[in-house]
């Protein structure tokens, strides 16, 4: 017999509506899995009592035939989303103990549609990282291991808790956020599906800000269909976010089986990097073949400013972060460390409250925004951003429907393996994903194969603005064509 937690989100939803399982049973099964998997450190806070109360309310609504689209589905929430009455930390010491008096718009949308909250998921501190090793609450361990090895691997980051929890079946899906690749890279590392929608598709209100012009909310799930179901509930216009776009949210699930017949898929030559591992290149070629066999036309395209995206990102993102994180001053919320005067208090609070990577990025940001450097660094980076977007606009104007690339330059790596000597080594993880944030476009990562060591590898599809439907359709073709990923053995339970 299949365990309840082995169901996909779509299967669980259908079983709930048919009365084959109750929401409380589902929540209980999920809570038991979470308790057994604490060694993964995926959750910062577990909320089992809240989950059971919400599940009981869901059962009552199902009984009255008032079920919402996610009625009774237990989810994990990245601890960057403010949740009313439940500690929200951004995985930072500076916010430890912070209990919001309000709910983020995206999580409120999920509860409106009947979802059940299991707890708050670990992440890199303030979503700054690609391995979930910068969390004040300790690293998340991936459920995946290299064949024949017990060495702990990273789940990717910054949404490492979300990806690990979904891959280990601790929840049916999770919220995540993506500023430079923080949904897609951990999804690729853990064999899950993650979509960063178009900038403005999901409200940023109530999500702890990192880099406001790059941050977007999105789901991580086990299947393309599950991601489509979640995004439909998360998305939508919000007057409280001035960058939230007032356009209708399509029924993404309906797009899942649409196929790619007649689509034109672009293959950007600039993504073929020097020194790219042969297995990543082979995976990419395989993806091309699958889409071609399903009736898509493959077109070689050029996105000439690709190589500048990552360096430009490391100006824009720290600049916005240094501005956004100025609010953590020990006055209104969070940690306060006394100093000899008020500036001494600010400096001591921020030195003790922020971790190494966050302090480094705030300082880089302060530098590139400082008098004399603003034009040379910040304004120049924003101009390069325009050039990056124009590259994509030209491709789409030429009739390209979506673009296929690798999701990451490698499979997951070991804890402590990268970035200790040179921060840039870690930043290179985002080389394929960051262009999408710089241009504000939607991007999805979908599992497509395994590395020589038996670890998941993902492909990325990049779409036109607000055309997430095409991404779900094309990702489904890859999901169906790819060899079915054997879930990792439950060594943690």
Q: Is residue 420 close enough to count as binding other proteins by CB under 8 A?
A: no
Q: Is 58 a known active-site residue? A: no
- What the block records as the tokens of 97 is 């103990």
267-306 binders of other proteins (CB under 8 A):
305
53-92 binders of other proteins (CB under 8 A):
none
Q: Is 213 a known active-site residue? A: no
Catalytic residue, from 22, 50, 58, 78: name it.
78
Least CB distance to other proteins at residue 467 (A): 13
137-166 binders of other proteins (CB under 8 A):
none
Interface with other proteins by CB under 8 A: which range of 35-43, 150-158, 422-430, 453-461? 422-430
Question: How many whole angstroms from its chain centre is CA 459?
Answer: 15
From the list 232, 183, 230, the residue with the least C-alpha distance to 210 is: 183
Q: Counting every residue, how long is the chain? A: 493
From the list 449, 439, 485, 487, the residue with the least C-alpha distance to 180 is: 439
Pattern of binders to other proteins over 218-247, x per CB under 8 A?
---------------------x--xx-x--
Interface with other proteins by CB under 8 A: which range of 95-103, 153-161, 290-298, 449-457? 95-103
305-364 binders of other proteins (CB under 8 A):
305, 307-308, 311-312, 314-315, 322, 326, 329-336, 338-339, 341-348, 350-351, 354, 359-360, 362-364
Q: Which is nearer to other proteins, 145 or 464 (CB)?
A: 464
Q: Is residue 199 close enough to count as binding other proteins by CB under 8 A?
A: yes
Q: Is residue 385 close enough to count as binding other proteins by CB under 8 A?
A: yes
Kind of pairing between the strands at 193-196 and 443-450: antiparallel
ω into 158 cis (within 30 of 0): yes
Q: Is residue 456 close enough to count as binding other proteins by CB under 8 A?
A: no
Catalytic residue, from 159, 182, 233, 410: name it.
182
Catalytic residue, from 130, 131, 142, 158: name it.
158
Q: Which is nearer to other proteins, 144 or 396 (CB)?
A: 396
Q: Which is nearer to other proteins, 55 or 234 (CB)?
A: 234
- What the block records as the tokens of 16 is 């709930």
Q: Which is nearer to other proteins, 254 or 352 (CB)?
A: 352
Least CB distance to other proteins at residue 381 (A): 7
How many angstroms separate the Cα of 185 from the Cα of each of 153, 313, 465?
14, 16, 20
Q: Is residue 111 close enough to count as binding other proteins by CB under 8 A?
A: no
Q: Is residue 28 close enough to count as binding other proteins by CB under 8 A?
A: no
Q: Is residue 381 close enough to count as binding other proteins by CB under 8 A?
A: yes
465-484 binders of other proteins (CB under 8 A):
465
Q: Is residue 422 close enough to count as binding other proteins by CB under 8 A?
A: yes
Q: Which is nearer to other proteins, 258 or 336 (CB)?
A: 336
Q: Is residue 213 close enough to count as binding other proteins by CB under 8 A?
A: yes
Q: Is residue 396 close enough to count as binding other proteins by CB under 8 A?
A: no
Q: How many positions of this chain bind other proteins (CB under 8 A)? A: 71
Place of tokens 């000597």: 421
- Long-range CB contacts for residues 360-366, cutoff 8 Å, separation at least 24: 360/423, 361/128, 361/317, 361/318, 361/321, 361/322, 362/318, 362/321, 362/322, 362/325, 363/322, 364/314, 364/315, 364/318, 364/322, 365/318, 365/319, 365/320, 365/321, 365/322, 365/323, 366/322
Q: Is 182 a known active-site residue? A: yes
Least CB distance to other proteins at residue 234 (A): 17
Least CB distance to other proteins at residue 352 (A): 8
Q: Is residue 398 close enough to count as binding other proteins by CB under 8 A?
A: no
Q: Is residue 200 close enough to count as binding other proteins by CB under 8 A?
A: yes
Active site residues: 78, 158, 182
């Amino acid at each position: 017999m299949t365990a309840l937690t082995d169901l996909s989100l779509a299967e669980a939803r259908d079983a709930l509506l048919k009365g084959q399982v109750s929401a409380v049973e589902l929540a209980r099964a999920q809570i038991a899995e979470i308790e057994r998997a604490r060694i993964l450190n995926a959750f910062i806070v577990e909320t089992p009592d809240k989950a059971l109360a919400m599940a009981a309310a869901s059962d009552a609504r199902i009984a009255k035939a008032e079920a919402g689209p996610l009625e009774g589905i237990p989810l994990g929430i990245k601890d960057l989303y403010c949740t009313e009455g439940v500690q929200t930390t951004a995985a930072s010491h500076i916010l430890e103990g912070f209990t919001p008096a309000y709910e983020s718009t995206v999580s409120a949308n999920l509860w409106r549609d009947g979802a059940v909250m299991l707890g708050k998921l670990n992440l890199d501190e303030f979503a700054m990282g690609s391995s979930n090793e910068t969390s004040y609450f300790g690293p998340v361990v991936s459920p995946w291991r290299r064949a024949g090895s017990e060495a702990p691997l990273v789940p990717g980051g910054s949404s490492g808790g979300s990806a690990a929890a979904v891959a280990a079946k601790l929840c049916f899906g999770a919220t995540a956020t993506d500023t430079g690749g923080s949904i897609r890279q951990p999804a690729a590392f853990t064999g899950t599906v993650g979509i960063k929608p178009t900038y403005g598709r999901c409200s940023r209100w109530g999500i702890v800000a990192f880099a406001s012009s790059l941050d977007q909310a999105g789901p991580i799930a086990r299947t393309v269909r599950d991601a489509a179901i979640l995004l439909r509930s998360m998305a939508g216009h919000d007057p409280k976010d001035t960058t939230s776009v007032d356009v209708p949210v399509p029924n993404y699930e309906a797009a899942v089986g649409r196929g790619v017949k007649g689509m034109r898929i672009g293959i950007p030559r600039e993504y073929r990097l020097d020194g790219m591992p042969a297995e990543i290149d082979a995976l990419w070629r395989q993806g091309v073949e699958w889409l071609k066999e399903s009736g898509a036309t493959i077109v070689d395209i050029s996105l000439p400013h690709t190589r500048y995206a990552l360096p430009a990102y490391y100006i824009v993102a720290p600049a916005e972060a240094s501005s956004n994180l100025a609010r953590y001053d020990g006055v209104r919320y969070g940690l306060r460390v006394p100093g000899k005067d008020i500036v001494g208090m600010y400096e001591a609070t921020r030195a003790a409250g922020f971790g190494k990577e966050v302090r480094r990025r705030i300082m880089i940001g302060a530098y590139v925004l400082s008098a004399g450097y603003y034009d040379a660094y910040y304004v120049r980076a924003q101009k390069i951003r325009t050039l990056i977007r124009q590259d994509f606009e030209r491709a789409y104007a030429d009739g390209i429907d979506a673009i296929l690339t690798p999701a990451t330059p490698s499979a997951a790596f070991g804890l402590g393996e990268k970035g200790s000597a040179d921060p840039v080594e870690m930043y290179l993880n985002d080389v394929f994903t960051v262009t999408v944030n710089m241009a504000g476009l939607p991007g999805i990562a979908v599992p497509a194969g395994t590395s020589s060591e038996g670890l998941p590898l993902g492909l990325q599809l990049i779409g036109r603005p607000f055309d997430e439907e095409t991404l779900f359709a094309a990702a489904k073709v890859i999901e169906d064509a790819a060899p079915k990923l054997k879930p990792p053995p439950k060594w943690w339970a």
